[in-house]
Structure 1
């Protein structure tokens, strides 16, 4: 799995909108804060709108606003919707599996499956709200990333 500029820039735009929760943000302001061109943002925001993450407002004071609460925007879902499968290899993909002539007895497939599962777990457990509240951190003494939510917060 490789996140392209499309996925990266879309997440940046969602973060800007999340920081301005409830306010209409102009495409120029999003561009200034993300360092992404207005032309490219127009394409990305149109996709995000079609996917139901943002809504647009027309007119002089027009722009974009989040359509969902940041805690309801799952990062794994956003990346899958924009980039496709999370698996690094098609033979290990759950959603876009493609057989390989070397698959039977392949010693690499378990590795690719573990990579897929690890990436999917982290992204699916992360929301836009987690990013906005800086709840992503490396667990001390461990070699994995965790999302630290407040007690009583909903886990995905």
Structure 2
């Protein structure tokens, strides 16, 4: 599993909008400037977030984007599942039982399924609010 720039930037957009939510609708140009990300690239990411109803948009003067709900209701897992093709560590986990003719006797399947469960539970346990509060990479390290 490799998280793309789309997934990483989507998280940065969500955190930025959450940090500035009292300002109402935030122009994408401001988010792009603060995050040092191409506005054109952010447009495609924001379109995906709006389509999934994670953000709402308003056109025209005073327009921009804002969260549709409180930052503590958005999980990292939910956002990444939207932006990434998969969070599975191996392709057969996502494709179902008919994807691999060796699945019935696969000695590693249970291990991959366990890893997928750990990944999803970990990412679903972190909210945008958590990321707003985090100060160091060690904030989310779990043994």
Q: TM-score range by the shorter chain?
A: 0.7 to 0.9
Segments of 5+ residues of structure 2 without an aligned counterpart are none
When normalised by structure 1's length, the TM-score is 0.79
The Cα shift of 1:31 comes to 0.7
**TM-score, normalising length from structure 2?**
0.85
**Aligned-pair Cα RMSD in Å:** 1.8
Aligned length: 138
Return the offset for 1:22: 2.8
* 1:137 aligns to 2:140 (yes or no): yes
Superposition pairs for residues 1-156 of structure 1, below 5 Å?
1-23=1-23, 24-93=25-94, 96-97=95-96, 99-134=99-134, 136-139=139-142, 143=143
- The Cα of 1:46 is off from its aligned counterpart by 1.1
Residues 53 and 67 in structure 1, CA contact (< 8 A), matched pair in contact too: yes
Shift of 1:102: 2.8
Distance (Å, rounded) in 2 between the aligned partners of 1:67 and 1:80: 18
Q: Deviations over 1:66-111 (max 9, x none)?
A: 1110011122111112213321213223xx4252133233222222
Q: Identify the structure with bigger relative contact order (alpha carbons < 8 Å, sequence gap 6+).
A: 2
Higher helix share: 2
Offset of 1:49 from its aligned partner?
Answer: 0.7
Contact 1:22 1:65 in 2 (8 A): no
